Amino acid sequence: MMTGPTFHQLKKMDRNSALPPQFKLAVLGDCATQLLSTAIRGYASYIGLGMDVFDADYNQIDALVMDDHSELYDFSPDAVLLQMCTQKLYEGFCGTALQDRSSFAESVFNRIRGVWRRIGSRATILQCNFPLLDDGVFGQFGNKTADSFLFQQRKLNYLLMQGCQEAKNVYIIDLDSLQNQLGQGAFSDAKLYYIAKMPICVDALPVVAKRVLDVVQVLRGTIKKCVVLDLDNTLWGGTIGDDGLGGIQIGELGTGHAFSDFQTWLKELKNRGILLAVCSKNNESAAKEPFEKHPEMVLRLEDFSVFIANWEDKASNIRKIQQTLNIGMDSLVFLDDNPFERNLVRSMIPEVTVPELPEDAALYLPYLRQLGLFEAASYSAEDSLRTDQYRTQAERSAFEASFHSYEDYLAGLEMKAVAAPFDTFHYPRISQLTQRSNQFNLRTVRYTEAEVEALARDDSHICLYFTLQDRFGDHGLISVVVLDKLPQETLFISEWLMSCRVLKRGMEEFVVNKIMQIAVEQGFRKVIGEYLPTSKNAMVKDLYEKMGFTRRTENRFEADPAHFQYHKNYITEE
Amino acid sequence: MTEQAIFQKLSEIFSDVFDEDIVVTAQTTASDVEQWDSLTHITLISEVEDAFGFKFSMKDVLGMKNVGEMVDIIRKNT
């Protein structure tokens, strides 16, 4: 399963990389981390990310973290990777008095949490957990006694999970599950620890680097949002057109169990907010029949946001899916058992991720589970509703067609919006939206949950979120605005983003009206907006001008709230 | 594998790891290659292990004085 670049290739990529640094990572460990740092830098350039890495000297965690003027803070990292190794942990355990061992995990956890707190909001923290080392001293009885290292180590990994629920800027790099996947022999090399204090062997460094980069990438807003699925021999065994409803293998029939399991997994992804779409070469009615009539299908039509079955080429159909959902091409994953289709899509739309699905359907799941495609930096209760929100979009389109003018249509939607200051309940969703929005995003500032909370508590900002609902359903929280209070009665719009699924509904006008209203109420005389271009946000290049701001420089705009022409729109404020 | 073939393969690995053309002989030591420090040594060991399909022991890694001794160990293990 270890495909991908070797350490040696990564080292070369690191040396030859000329990418401008876009992310600063500090690597701190109680073991030797130099080669890990090399692998991380190399892996970053392998995926096209310029990364500046500060590799701390051996065993300097406390010194660097405690001193406010240390090189660590001078470097001002975006994230700090903390690698404490199990070998060191074990030394500490053996040096602990017998009567204190049953609370060993708590005391180590408290120390680690002290490091997290000391770093505080200065950087995101990537905390490696501890790859399991069973010292064998108690045998399997170690599971049954709190005095064993086995027990304490497992508890510590659990405490880290528990602890980062509260410490919002801490993310776990799950080395334990990685070691589990690779096997201890492939993950570490005992002699390397004795010779060089390296807990991870050279050949495993690239996959460790990948795990770190997977998290870095979602923090930077690169997220998979939709899985596009073929049907025949991908979602069931056999061909619906030839084998018919009773002949396809799903559930009890033939190889069906593997496909049922695969569907169950996809449904879990859907429940956590990943959209599903069908892209199949079939007659539409035949393609839909199993979802409507087969009793053993796990997925049903309502689980899909878009369903395309026709005889056109798949690249064109994937473009259609992408346009319908209005999400980035690079947020799509395409799964198809047919190598021809996979290669076609890869060559026509290189941005789409196309995993090399194994030939044996029994291996689909083991293969996909370890790819780490669906990394997330946040999760909110609203995520499970996402499919419904995209599906009601289709109903809205039909409704729109029944009106003569777009204004009549907007009026008929009966839209209601809420504008409210950030509150605890919405921190996860606000953070998530700053990470997911790329197109309608004026300055593309990403916030972790901890940063959202800090903003909300800081009086020098006005932080607003917006929700929208209409006669077809609730869009939930779809826009975020952060206004910085500057001297001379000036408000600066330091964050404004909106989910693209509510475009052209008058929501942007509603938001601007609200900003101006607040500016007037709180006595501000000037509102400044700024557009910071990225490769994805060209759609809002001229937004401020369209909204009635005056262009001052190329990307800076100004408005006078006292004399602002409020925009007409069809949204009622609740 | 003949001794000559092993030297040949090692020269390739060394050239690759140190990113310069290196022809190793039995007498080559770390002081002959500028970039050969303790860290590259680890990389080198790992590359040689992968290429020849065996693992050095801890004693091997710490005890090797020159490439000739490395070749002896490789011959014993392959």
- What ipTM did this prediction achieve? 0.92
Q: Is residue A383 part of a domain?
A: no
pLDDT at residue A1 in the model: 43
CB contact under 8 A, A7 and B43: yes
pLDDT at residue A148 in the model: 97
Helix (H) or strand (E) holding A462: strand A461-470
CB contact under 8 A, B43 and A194: no
Task: Say yes or no: A140 and A285 in one domain.
Answer: no
- For A40-96, write each residue's pLDDT tens digit: 999 999 999 999 999 999 999 999 999 999 999 999 999 999 999 999 999 999 999
- For A103-148, write each residue's pLDDT tens digit: 999 999 999 999 999 999 899 999 999 999 999 999 999 999 999 9
- Concatenated DSSP letters of A110-171: HHHHHHHHHHGGGSEEEEE--------SSGGGGGG-TTSHHHHHHHHHHHHHHHHHHSTTEE
For CA atoms A191, A195, A197, A202, give the dihedral sign.
negative
Which band of pLDDT confidence, cut at 50, 70 and 90, is reported for residue A225?
very high
Dist. CA A211–CA A14, nearest whole Å? 17
Q: Which amino acid is at A200?
A: I
Q: Single out the residue of A499, A505, A462 nearest to residue A382, CA to CA.
A: A499
Dist. CA A186–CA A88, nearest whole Å? 20
**Last residue of one domain, picked from the residues A177, A202, A219:** A219
pLDDT at residue A3 in the model: 72
Buried b (16+ CB within 10 A) or exposed e, A79-116: bbbbbbbbbbbbeebeebeeeebbebbeebbeebbebb
Dist. CA A318–CA A179, nearest whole Å? 36
Q: Is residue A374 part of a domain?
A: no
Task: Say yes or no: A345 and A481 in one domain.
Answer: no
Domains of chain B (ranges; CATH) run: 3-77 (1.10.1200.10)
SS3 A188: coil
Q: Is residue A379 part of a domain?
A: no
Task: Say yes or no: A207 and A239 in one domain.
Answer: no
Q: What is the mean pLDDT of residues A20-40?
A: 96
pLDDT of residue A384 exceeding 90, the answer is no
Q: Which range among A368-382, A458-472, B41-55 shows the weakest confidence by mean pLDDT? A: A368-382
- Give the C-alpha distances (Å, rounded to integers) separating A510 from A406, A517, A556: 17, 10, 21
Dist. CA A114–CA A30, nearest whole Å? 16
Task: Say yes or no: A519 and A416 in one domain.
Answer: yes
pLDDT of residue A170 exceeding 90, the answer is yes
Provide the domain limits for residue A14: 7-219
Dist. CA A565–CA A530, nearest whole Å? 20
**Last residue of one domain, picked from the residues A369, A403, A425:** A369
Residue A330 belongs to domain with CATH number: 3.40.50.1000
Chain A residue numbers with beta carbons less than 8 Å from the beta carbon of B39 are 34-35, 196
Shortest Cα–Cα distance, B43 to chain A (Å): 7
pLDDT at residue A161 in the model: 97
Q: Is residue A386 part of a domain?
A: no
Chain B residue numbers with beta carbons less than 8 Å from the beta carbon of A195 are 42, 58, 61-62
Chain B residue numbers with beta carbons less than 8 Å from the beta carbon of A12 are 19
Q: Single out the residue of A473, A469, A472, A444 nearest to residue A532, CA to CA.
A: A444
pLDDT of residue A478 exceeding 70, the answer is yes
- Concatenated DSSP letters of A392-448: HHHHHHHHHHT-SSHHHHHHHT-EEEEEEE--GGGHHHHHHHHHH--SSBSS-----
Residue A489 belongs to domain with CATH number: 3.40.630.30
User: In percent, how much of chain A has pLDDT > 90?
Assistant: 81
Dist. CA B73–CA B78, nearest whole Å? 9
A59: left (phi over 0), alpha (psi -120 to 50) or beta: left
pLDDT of residue A231 exceeding 50, the answer is yes
Chain A residue numbers with beta carbons less than 8 Å from the beta carbon of B17 are 8
The residues with which B66 forms a beta bridge, in sequence order, are none
Q: How would you list the strands of the sheet with A79-83, edge to edge?
A: A51-55, A23-29, A79-83, A124-128, A170-173
A461–B contact, CB cutoff 8 A: no
Task: Say yes or no: A212 and A157 in one domain.
Answer: yes
Work out how many domains chain A is built from and give that number: 3
Q: Is residue A487 part of a domain?
A: yes
- For A398-428, write each residue's pLDDT tens digit: 777 777 788 888 888 899 999 999 998 899 9
**Last residue of one domain, picked from the residues A219, A254, A270:** A219
Cα A303 from chain centroid? 21
In this predicted model, which residue has the larger pLDDT, B39 or A309?
A: A309
Dihedral (Cα; A252, A298, A353, A179), 10-degree rounding: -70
pLDDT at residue A502 in the model: 86
Q: Is residue A124 part of a domain?
A: yes
Task: Say yes or no: A454 and A365 in one domain.
Answer: no
pLDDT of residue A475 exceeding 90, the answer is no
Question: Which stretches of chain B score pLDDT less than 50?
Answer: none
For CA atoms A307, A308, A314, A318, give the dihedral sign.
negative
Segment 152-211 of chain A within 8 Å of chain B by CB: 189-192, 194-196, 198, 201-203
pLDDT at residue A394 in the model: 66
Task: Say yes or no: A504 and A425 in one domain.
Answer: yes
Q: Is residue A542 part of a domain?
A: yes
CB contact under 8 A, A202 and B42: yes
Task: Say yes or no: A498 and A555 in one domain.
Answer: yes
Tokens of A317: 């159909």
Residue A49 belongs to domain with CATH number: 3.40.50.1110
Task: Say yes or no: A525 and A451 in one domain.
Answer: yes
Helix (H) or strand (E) holding A469: strand A461-470
Q: Are the C-beta atoms of A276 and A230 separated by less than 8 Å? A: no
CB contact under 8 A, A191 and B16: no
- Any idea which residue has 């899909």 for tokens? A304
Q: Is residue A377 part of a domain?
A: no
Number of Cβ within 10 Å of residue A300's Cβ equals: 13
The residues with which A276 forms a beta bridge, in sequence order, are A227
Task: Say yes or no: A194 and A241 in one domain.
Answer: no
Task: Say yes or no: A555 and A429 in one domain.
Answer: yes
Chain B residue numbers with beta carbons less than 8 Å from the beta carbon of A35 are 39, 42-43
Task: Say yes or no: A545 and A422 in one domain.
Answer: yes
